[in-house]
Amino acid sequence: MAGNCVEVAFNKPKVELHVHLDGTIRPETILDVAKKRGMALPTDSAEDLARLCMLCKPATLTEFLCKFHHFMHVIAGDREAIKRVAYEFVETKAKEGVLYVEVRYSPHLLANTEVDPIPWSQKEGDLTPDEVVDLVNRGLRAGENTFRIKARSILCCMRHMPNWSMEVVELCKKYRHSGVVAIDLAGDESLNCEAHPGHRKAFEEAVRSGVHRTVHAGEVGPASVVKEAVEVLKAERIGHGYRTLEDRTLYEQLLKKNMHFEVCPMSSKLTGACDPDFTKHPLIRFKEDKANYSLNTDDPLIFNTTLDVDYSITQKYMNFTEKEFKRLNINAAKSSFLPEKEKKDLLNRLFDAYGMKKPALKGGTENSRDIQLIMSTHSE
């Protein structure tokens, strides 16, 4: 992977909030599972398969989403594979120095029964979306025990499948004490929620039942999608959100609300969401405005990347400093969907690791400007 030859930009514990489980699968695992299941793939070389799955130059979100067709049919419907993918994901994140991660996926896209339509042209089997969640939970928990980091999950509704969304929120409720912390809406942003009330209803139920909410918005879609995410879906965090900057009033409102933006630098270049010249990236504006954001990989398999690559990009092209890396990770921890007590423990671990004095936290409600004050009392 590209990350192997990149110097580590921030060699301290990190928090990652936006990464897709199905966008992190190891090519070696896909090959192993295909072999075990007697499935033919165009190659039996992990390197060639990685090349097939990756985007090398800026494309479109649609071209990017097509990449999943190369491998999802191999993993979907296979209990052992799903557990393994979740376990290996935790191993990868531990190696990247991640202390806490929230990983997201669509349970329906990994199932082969009780899902309409059955995805990836699979034959009907006996793995339901509900059991997929249980398998991922078990894989993540096994990974946590072995690699000593914390991993929680977010269940994705898919923009083009509004008929799945009510079940997604019900799964969030069912598994809220087994590792699932929130609901998300992913996929093609051109499909808005007005035309697809299934998402709105699911997010209303999430609000009613206290399920946390994040929404992919303003990645390739306009600022109005961000507005809809905040006002209609009551999103507490925004996945990507770059195009929020096109609506000044909205941006200022979200800054004031301390809205968290889950920023994915390499992803934003390769999906065509942002100008490929990183020195023009919206993240620079977020940094200047001391906005609340995190740095994330999104889909490392497809972007041929690691978390270190994303950090290095911001250091090299956007003048990110160690101090900013600390600030953004503290904001990520504060914006995580952990219960307050666990959030405080995570923050304390970060403060220790960053050599910072622990502030008296008032129930985790301080905003990024408070953190700025805390930071300004510490030299790098």
Ligand X SMILES: O=c1[nH]cnc2c1ncn2[C@H]1C[C@H](O)[C@@H](CO)O1
Active-site residue 219, yes or no?
A: yes
* 19 part of the interface to ligand X, by CB under 6 A: no
* 298 part of the interface to ligand X, by CB under 6 A: yes
Which 21-40 positions form the footprint of ligand X (CB under 6 A)? 22-23
233 vs 371, beta carbon nearer ligand X: 233
Helical pair 322-334 and 340-353, crossing angle rounded to 10 deg: 170
Structure token digits, residue 141: 């928990």
* 186 part of the interface to ligand X, by CB under 6 A: yes
| Distance (Å, whole) CA 271 – CA 64 | 6
12: β partners = none
* 105 part of the interface to ligand X, by CB under 6 A: yes
Query: H helices then E strands: how many in the chain?
Result: 17, 8
From the CB of residue 97, how many other CB atoms can be counted at a distance below 10 Å?
18
| Distance (Å, whole) CA 93 – CA 15 | 10
| Distance (Å, whole) CA 357 – CA 84 | 39
Question: Do 272 and 255 touch, CB atoms closer than 8 A?
Answer: no
* 92 part of the interface to ligand X, by CB under 6 A: no
Please list, residue by residue across 240-269, b when 16 or more beta carbons sit within 10 angstroms of its beta carbon and e when fewer do: bbbbbbebeebbeebbeebbbbbbbbbbbb
Span from 101-109, 162-170, 244-252, 366-374 in contact with ligand X (CB under 6 A): 101-109
Q: What 3-state class would DSSP assign to 161? A: coil
* 68 part of the interface to ligand X, by CB under 6 A: yes
Which member of 24, 106, 329, 335 binds ligand X (CB under 6 A)?
A: 106
Q: At closest approach, how far in Å is the CB of 158 from ligand X?
A: 6
Q: At closest approach, how far in Å is the CB of 326 from ligand X?
A: 26
Helical pair 27-37 and 79-95, crossing angle rounded to 10 deg: 160
Which member of 78, 102, 205, 219 binds ligand X (CB under 6 A)?
A: 219
Interface map 299-338 toward ligand X (x if CB under 6 A): x---------------------------------------
| Distance (Å, whole) CA 221 – CA 187 | 11
| Half-sphere exposure of residue 48: CA atoms within 13 angstroms, side-chain side | 6
The backbone region for 58, taken as left when phi is positive above 0, alpha when psi lies in -120 to 50, beta otherwise, is: beta
Structure token digits, residue 105: 């996926």
From the CB of residue 341, how many other CB atoms can be counted at a distance below 10 Å?
9
How many amino acids of this chain bind ligand X (CB under 6 A)? 18
Q: At closest approach, how far in Å is the CB of 302 from ligand X?
A: 8
* 242 part of the interface to ligand X, by CB under 6 A: no
59 vs 245, beta carbon nearer ligand X: 59
2 vs 65, beta carbon nearer ligand X: 65
* 222 part of the interface to ligand X, by CB under 6 A: no
Which member of 14, 26, 196, 216 binds ligand X (CB under 6 A)?
A: 216
Which 269-288 positions form the footprint of ligand X (CB under 6 A)? 271
199 vs 334, beta carbon nearer ligand X: 199
156: β partners = 184
Catalytic residue among 144, 189, 219, 366: 219
Span from 19-27, 83-91, 166-174, 364-372 in contact with ligand X (CB under 6 A): 19-27
The site for ligand X (CB under 6 A) is made up of 20, 22-23, 65, 68, 104-106, 109, 156, 186-187, 216, 219, 267, 271, 298-299
Catalytic residues: 219
